Amino acid sequence: MNHAKALAIVTAYDMYLECAEGKLNPAWKVDKPVDFHRFREKLGMQMLAYDPRSRLYAGDEKFRSSTQQNQTQRRRTSKSLSPARSMQSTSSGVCEDDLSSTTESSTRLCGFLDTIIEHIESCKRFPGTNGRLCVVCGVRTAKYCSKCGKPMHTSPIEGSDSQVSCFIHYHNTSFFGLAREDCKMVKKRQKDWSFPTEQQRQLNAAQMKQIHKQSVNRKRNVDNEGADNGTPSSSNTN
């Protein structure tokens, strides 16, 4: 055990030197890195004063002092942490276990919908009695999404086999290419267009998911190749 701890300290010091040289991040560079003995002293003092219940490091929740806490105390000690340091719980008290159990036991959560909420809140009515043709179904509507600048129905239209509004269809990646406005993109005549059937929508959704998956994999491969060649990837530069 002592030998393992000694190896951990030596490894930690090597990591410290690598960071202090500024090669990983120029902001971390220091003029005079401390020597090994001073590093070990500061590390020891830090460890003696540290309380695992602070949840600042990975594995803190496994310490005896943390496991002795009840669920309420565990959430409370995790609330004050920044997202960069801990993913144990949110400010409202939801922890990772709650998210996992909810995701596994129900279909309530459908991902992060912040973007679509912004579009919903931007919906407005055309002034007066003026209306325009919906970009999805081609039927005149008085509503439009000001974030997109496009007219569309915000509620399902009568006579449609879909209980979903044109607004949702237009912003749904699975529906991309099926809207009336998309005829220009797919080189079709609008007068020959008709609202897609449920089978056509399902087929398009499956194909769009495949295209999206291929696009993500291709981007990941490009990023990995750039990292291997020492070239900063787009995900690291943003």
Q: Is residue 128 located within the same domain as residue 209?
A: yes
Res 154: pLDDT: 94
Question: Is 236 domain-assigned?
Answer: no
Q: Copy the structure tokens of residue 30.
A: 């220091």
Question: Is 82 domain-assigned?
Answer: no
Q: Is residue 56 located within the same domain as residue 152?
A: no
Q: Is residue 184 located within the same domain as residue 119?
A: yes
Res 164: pLDDT: 92
C-alpha distances in angstroms, 237 versus 29, 65, 196, 226, 234?
20, 40, 41, 12, 5
Backbone phi, then psi, for 140, in 5-degree steps?
Answer: -65, 140
Q: Is residue 141 located within the same domain as residue 53?
A: no
| Domain tally, the chain | 2
Res 238: pLDDT: 44
Q: Which domain, by its residues, includes 215?
A: 114-223
Quote the CA–CA distance of 119 and 22 in Å, as a whole number.
Answer: 43
Q: Is residue 55 located within the same domain as residue 118?
A: no
Question: Is 231 domain-assigned?
Answer: no
Q: Is residue 204 located within the same domain as residue 144?
A: yes
Res 232: pLDDT: 56
Res 15: pLDDT: 92
State the Rg of the chain over Cα: 28
Handedness of CA 142, 143, 149, 151 (dihedral sign): negative
Pairing of strands 143-145, 132-133: unpaired
Question: Is 6 domain-assigned?
Answer: yes
Question: Is 171 domain-assigned?
Answer: yes
Question: Is 235 domain-assigned?
Answer: no
Question: Is 79 domain-assigned?
Answer: no
Helices 2-20 and 36-49: crossing angle in degrees, nearest 10, is 110
Reported pTM: 0.57
Res 143: pLDDT: 94
Q: Is residue 48 located within the same domain as residue 136?
A: no
pLDDT in tens, 6-61: 899 999 999 999 999 888 888 889 989 999 999 999 888 888 888 887 777 777 77
Q: How would you write the pLDDT of the chain (238 residues) with one tens digit per residue?
A: 999 988 999 999 999 999 998 888 888 899 899 999 999 998 888 888 888 877 777 777 788 888 887 766 666 555 545 444 444 566 666 777 777 766 666 778 888 999 999 999 999 999 887 789 999 999 999 999 999 999 999 999 887 777 899 999 999 999 999 999 999 999 999 999 999 999 999 999 999 999 999 988 888 887 777 666 655 555 454 4
Q: Is residue 136 located within the same domain as residue 55?
A: no
